[in-house]
Structure 1
Amino acid sequence: MMGYGYFTFEELQWSDAGKLITDGTYNYKIPCVMDVPEKFNVTLLRNSRNLRAVYSSKGLGEPAVCLANTVFFAIKDAIQSARNDAGLMGTFDMDTPATPEKIRLACGDSVIDFANKTI
């Protein structure tokens, strides 16, 4: 969940003066219990050789954060599919975190066109 939050929720924002604005949980969004997928299976490797660690672990947190980039790329792939459906072919740029706002804007569909016309 830490990696999931890093790639999808945790957007640092800075003021024009260079002060960190998102410095607390009131305005810095992190995943909560409602963000955990309904089906979330985790298993640990059994019968490993390192007898001094839990299931031969060397580090439990950091590898999961690194592998969480798959969440970002799955989202980007879904956006590419939505863009293709909207007739927008080719590549597009997208930075992490993939916030709901960035995802919606990147889709480039009729909802965004409608919003741009009403602003």
Structure 2
Amino acid sequence: MNPAVDLGQIEGAFVQGIGFFMLEEYLANSDGLVIVDGTWTYKIPTIDTIPKQFNVEILNSGHHKKRVLSSKASGEPPLLLAVSVHCATRAAIREAREQLLSWNGLDGSDSMFQLEVPATMPIVKELCGLDNVEGYLQSLLSG
């Protein structure tokens, strides 16, 4: 078996995880039924949202008699590794909030927030306080 197949499975599952944790928002009603059944608002990972350089290496664990041609399983673990993107986003939001406080001359940290899945860009911008910055800049331009 070609190990490149396993590498492709790992890369694909990780990118699928990025979509799940960061992009794939769907709207549901109070009964939990999906209310948007079209693809116009459904966002999946694209060329500008996936890693530009993505290094995957499979460790050689030797020959095993019970595996077909020494194949390896690469199912759900790579998908769940994509939670690292969500965790990194949470850390970046925390730093952005602290920086915004320091710019306003305030002490302390504003690190209490909840980052849901998916953590879409509008949610991330709001939690970072960028909506406040954009509003402030617009007031400077209009005033």
Aligned with residue 102 of structure 1, among 123, 130, 133: 123
Gaps of 5+ in 1: none
**Structure 2 equivalent of residue 81 of structure 1:** 95
**Structure 2 equivalent of residue 31 of structure 1:** 45
> TM-score, normalising length from structure 1?
0.77
CA distance in 1, matches of 2:34, 2:68: 38
Gaps of 5+ in 2: 1-14, 102-108
> TM-score, normalising length from structure 2?
0.66
CA RMSD for the aligned pairs? 2.7
**Partner SS, residue 70 of structure 1:** helix
Largest Rg, 1 or 2: 2
Aligned with residue 61 of structure 1, among 69, 75, 88: 75
Deviation above 6 Å: which 4+ runs of structure 1? none
Task: Figure out how many residues of one structure are paired with residues of the other and give that number.
Answer: 115
Cα deviation code 1:24-53 (max 9, x no counterpart): 432211112332221111122224444525
CA distance in 2, matches of 1:24, 1:32: 18
